[in-house]
Amino acid sequence: MDMQLKDRLALVTGASRGIGAATAIALAAKGAHVILTARTAAGLEQVEEAIFAAGGSATIAPLDLAQSDSIAKLATAVGERWNALDVMVLNAGTLGSLAAVPAIDPKEFAQVLTLNVSAPLAMIQAFDPMLRRSAGARVIGVTSSVGRTPRAYWGAYGASKAAFETLLESYGDEMAEIGRVRVAVIDPGATRTAMRARAYPGEDPASVKPPEAVAARIAQLAVDGFDANHRERVAA
């Protein structure tokens, strides 16, 4: 543990597996106390155990981000225990079905937008007061290249990520002028995750980088200083 984030509080969404789980472990290894959120309590408990085994500290908070009232309740509970939030990693998301634009199911599209756009917005709104009380908060969002480069059959997911990026970077611009909160948008690129396996079922998982590679960069961004919005793609 290098303790660069000692006495800092971090929160990671989608922390039960993949990039979210790896990021939570990486932040804890830097000394942060990490709040782990996801729908699956069992997965969160496994990540929490891994953090404890490595000498770190964490708190699990199972919740469904699609329910906006659960986010408000989480913010209230966190605010009653801690004064400030130093790192918030917005990683949770859903792929939906890959389909041609005329074939996108409106109900499923609404669900994708809820989890990929409305939930992160609710997280920012709920935790904004705690982020502002930090000496230098970092909000880091995990995106996809299809949010900026449209691709056939990825219209629904790409549209949600484009909206997600716009919200995050707008918030970053606002905070650059009035506070100490800074925003980074990270495109992990090809990474060994369950979502990747679903999108590319014939791909050899060993041919793409592990989530720990992305997590290491996110954890370092939680430490690094930058003046305004930051955006990068994590190289293989």
- Taking CA atoms, 2 is separated from 30, 140, 162, 175, 220, in Å, by 5, 20, 35, 29, 11
**Domains observed in the chain:** 9-233 (3.40.50.720)
Residue positions annotated with a catalytic role: 157
Interatomic CA distance for residues 218 and 196, integer angstroms:
19
| pLDDT at res. 226 | 85
Instruction: Pull the structure tokens for residue 40.
Output: 């699956």
Is residue 62 a contact partner of residue 42, using CB atoms and an 8 Å limit?
no
CB atoms within 10 A of CB 190: 14
Tell me the whole-structure pTM to 2 decimals: 0.97
- Taking CA atoms, 139 is separated from 67, 83, 127, in Å, by 21, 17, 10
Q: pLDDT 10s digit of each residue in the chain, 236 long?
A: 789 999 999 999 999 999 999 999 999 999 999 999 999 999 999 999 999 999 999 999 999 999 879 999 999 999 999 999 999 999 999 999 999 999 999 999 999 999 999 999 999 999 999 999 999 999 999 999 999 999 999 999 999 999 999 999 999 999 998 989 999 999 999 999 999 999 999 999 999 999 999 999 999 999 998 877 999 999 86
Interatomic CA distance for residues 147 and 112, integer angstroms:
13
Select from 196, 188, 186, 165 the least CA-distant residue to 235: 188
Q: How distant is the alpha carbon of residue 120 from its chain centre?
A: 9
Handedness of CA 13, 19, 25, 29 (dihedral sign): negative
| pLDDT at res. 2 | 81
Q: Going by C-beta distance under 8 Å and a sequence separation of 6 or more, which residues neighbour residue 40?
A: 16, 17, 62
Q: Going by C-beta distance under 8 Å and a sequence separation of 6 or more, which residues neighbour residue 63?
A: 37, 38, 39, 70, 71, 73, 74
Interatomic CA distance for residues 15 and 13, integer angstroms:
5
| pLDDT at res. 227 | 79
